[in-house]
Structure formats: structure tokens, C-alpha cells
């Protein structure tokens, strides 16, 4: 029960890594506000948590929309009184579009979900965390955020931006008892491929050069356990860090 008495918002909780984090946090005692753009998915996850004796609230939200972000945090505070942990997990890919093919529309869409949404959520939960003098913010980035060969131009740039946001928040609020860290997963068995349609032949071909070295695919729960460390008191001295969890992929 490492998160006993804590309230956690988890975005992208309707499947994959987000679902694993939401369920693990609930088993560790947290009250979970599970959010996803697909209402049916997140209601299923929250229902399964509650059926197991945990506490979860499902909130459908598109993190690229400011009004949905505000409603999500408001729902968490109204239901459970506060937000102690924020996990920015929702994200989309970019069809491996290289810089010479990426459109303004794709660039803006990827950044809206992968960077602006997390920023708005962080901005909204910070006042409450500062008042309490404690809080843990976890951003799910990617190995694309520490290198240049794991996605297209927009996805790679967005994950680098999320890493930068993580470090800024970690430094700025350290003296307020608030920690902000990022997890950079490698290949994980999730349904994020649903956000890929008609990938660039050029970009995907270049990506495949590095994909051939992947040791194995990860499981969502393996990433969830990293998130648990960062959310709990066991990670109290970890702040502004980027933890790569990729089975050794980027070590090659």
C-alpha cells in the first residue's frame, strides 16, 4: 500500500501503459481518476478497479482541449478533495513523418496532445500541490525524447519538449516538495499503433534501422512499476530525472 491515501490522475488510462498504471496505483491504495479520450475504455478500467475493491473515477477527456483538462482536474478535486499524483501518459504518434514531409496540421496535433496537454494539467494541479507542500508529477515520454531515431520529426520533438518541461518543473518546484520526473519507455506492447495511419515510407524505413536492435518488447506493467517508484516515497530523492525503460535498446 505504497500510495495509501493518495489521489492520482492518470491520462490515457483506457489501455496499455495508462491502464497498467491506473490498476497498479489502485492496488497500492491510491484513489485513481482514470481518464481517456475513449469513454468506453476508461469506464471499463475504472469498473474493473472498483470491482477489485479499489477506488476509481472514470473521466472522458481529450487532453488537447483546455476545457477537458480543466474539467478533469475539477472532477478529481470534487470527488476526492485533492490531486497528489499526476501521470501524463496520453500521447499520439506521427506516422514517422520526417521533417521534409511533416505538415503544420500534424505538427500542431502531436504537440497539442504530447506537450500542451501535459503542460496544462501540470499548471492546473500545481497550486494545490504547492498548498500541500507535496506532489509527484510523472510524464510518460519515450526513448524518442532522448534520441532522434525512434519516431518522426513531430513525435521526436514533442517528446524532447516533454523531457525539457519535466526538468523545468522538477527544478522550479523542488523547494515546494513537488517532484517531476519522466519515464522514457522503449518498445512496449500497447495500442499506440492505432494513432498511425499511412506512415511515411522514408521515415519508417529509417526508423527500421534502429528497430532491428530492440532486445524485446516491454509489458505495460513493467513501465507501471517504474511509475510506482516515482509516485511513492521510495522515489523521494528522484526529481527532474528521465528514467529510460527499454530493456537495453538505447544501450546498443
Identify any residues that bridge with 85 across adjacent strands, giving them in sequence order.
8, 136
The 3-state secondary structure of 182-219 reads EEEECCECCCHHHHCCCCCHHHHHHHHHHHCCCCCCEC
Looking at residue 33, the DSSP 8-state letter turns out to be E
Kindly report the length of the chain.
252
Q: Which of 80, 155, 173, 204 is catalytic?
A: 155
Distance of CA 86 to the CA centre of its chain: 9
Question: In which order are the strands placed within the sheet that holds 178-185?
Answer: 55-60, 31-36, 7-10, 85-88, 135-140, 178-185, 242-245
C-alpha cell at 70: 480543466
C-alpha cell at 105: 496540421
**Whole-number Cα distances in Å, 58 to 43, 44, 86, 244:** 5, 9, 15, 29
Q: 99 with 157: CB under 8 angstroms?
A: no
Note if 155 is an active site residue.
yes
Catalytic residues: 155
Amino acid at each position: 500500500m505504497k500510495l495509501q491515501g493518495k489521489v492520482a490522475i492518470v491520462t490515457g488510462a483506457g489501455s496499455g501503459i495508462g491502464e497498467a498504471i491506473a490498476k497498479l496505483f489502485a492496488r497500492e491504495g491510491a484513489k485513481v481518476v482514470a481518464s481517456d479520450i475513449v469513454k468506453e475504455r476508461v469506464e471499463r478500467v475504472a469498473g474493473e478497479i472498483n470491482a477489485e475493491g479499489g477506488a476509481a473515477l472514470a473521466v472522458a477527456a481529450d487532453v488537447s482541449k483546455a476545457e477537458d483538462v480543466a474539467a478533469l482536474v475539477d472532477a478529481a478535486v470534487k470527488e476526492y478533495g485533492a490531486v497528489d499524483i499526476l501521470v501524463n501518459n496520453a500521447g499520439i504518434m506521427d506516422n514517422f513523418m520526417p521533417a521534409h514531409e511533416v505538415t503544420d496540421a500534424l505538427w500542431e496535433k502531436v504537440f497539442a496532445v504530447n506537450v500542451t496537454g501535459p503542460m496544462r494539467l501540470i499548471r492546473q494541479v500545481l497550486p494545490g500541490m504547492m498548498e500541500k507542500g507535496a506532489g509527484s508529477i510523472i510524464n510518460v515520454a519515450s526513448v524518442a525524447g532522448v534520441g532522434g531515431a525512434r519516431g518522426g520529426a513531430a513525435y521526436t520533438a514533442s517528446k524532447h519538449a516533454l523531457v525539457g518541461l519535466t526538468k523545468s518543473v522538477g527544478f522550479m518546484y523542488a523547494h515546494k516538495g513537488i517532484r517531476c520526473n519522466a519515464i522514457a519507455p522503449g518498445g512496449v506492447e500497447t495500442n499506440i499503433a492505432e494513432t498511425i495511419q499511412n506512415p511515411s515510407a522514408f521515415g519508417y524505413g529509417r526508423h527500421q534501422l534502429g528497430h532491428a536492435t530492440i532486445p524485446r518488447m516491454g509489458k505495460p506493467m513493467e513501465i507501471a512499476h517504474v511509475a510506482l517508484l516515482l509516485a511513492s516515497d521510495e522515489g523521494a530523492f528522484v526529481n527532474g530525472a528521465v528514467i529510460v525503460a527499454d530493456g537495453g535498446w538505447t544501450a546498443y
